[in-house]
Amino acid sequence: MVEKLVGIRWHGRGGQGAVTSAELIAQAAINEGKYAQAFPSFGPERRGAPVQAFNRIDKESPIKIRAEVTQPDVVVVLDPGLLSIIKVTAGLKEKGLVIINTKKTAAQIRADFDIANRIATVDATKIAKEVLRVPIVNTTMIGALIKATEVINMESVKEPLANRFGKLAQRNFDAMKRSYDETVVEEQR
């Protein structure tokens, strides 16, 4: 999926780490010599309220757009409960991909939420609880994003994880790696 310019929209709830995920992805992309940006979109919402974060990654040129990603190539959903209250696929490109933290299969998600795009699934909550011992899925969903898109290399996330999480960086990397291994990506639709 690695295109010249990739737009990613993250959907989560306050406190789940969507903003942190976007920042870590941007830092990893920059470490690879790419151009990248990450930014959130939220107001005075409290913990648990829906939030969005965005990435743009360009492997060739500086990014001059400074606005929300309204037509993403990829949508990442940290909280599957958001599928019932937000149209997460709004503006998603025709060949776009939806990556969802869920226990359900892509076929079940498609049937329940009428998603026409390609879907990747992983039970990121289970992985986070088992590896991190908390249900915060930001780094697990980074693993799913890398598996489904190859937008960055997994090794490139090590330094940003170390800077962000210190002693907990290795545990977060382990959760990310396990998520990478367990993510199921639908074949091209």
**pLDDT tens readout for residues 116-128:** 999 999 999 999 9
- Quick one: pLDDT at residue 49? 83
Range list of H helices, the chain:
18-31, 106-113, 124-127, 138-149, 158-165, 169-182
- Lowest mean pLDDT across 49-53, 151-155, 157-161, 178-182: 49-53
Please tell me the pTM assigned to this model. Answer: 0.94
Q: With contact defined as beta carbons under 8 Å apart, do 6 and 128 qualify?
A: no
Q: Where are the chain's structural domains?
A: 5-185
- Integer Cα distance of 153 and 143 in angstroms: 10
Closest alpha carbon to 163 in 27, 34, 32: 27
Nearest-5° Cα angle at 120, 172 to 2: 85
Element spanning 77, H or E? strand 74-77
Percent of the chain with pLDDT over 90: 85
- Integer Cα distance of 24 and 55 in angstroms: 10
**Residue written as tokens 């409960």?**
81
Quick one: fold of 5-185?
Answer: Pyruvate-ferredoxin Oxidoreductase; domain 3 (3.40.920)
**Residue 189: pLDDT band by 50, 70, 90 thresholds?**
low
Closest alpha carbon to 71 in 5, 125, 115, 157: 5
- Integer Cα distance of 109 and 175 in angstroms: 23
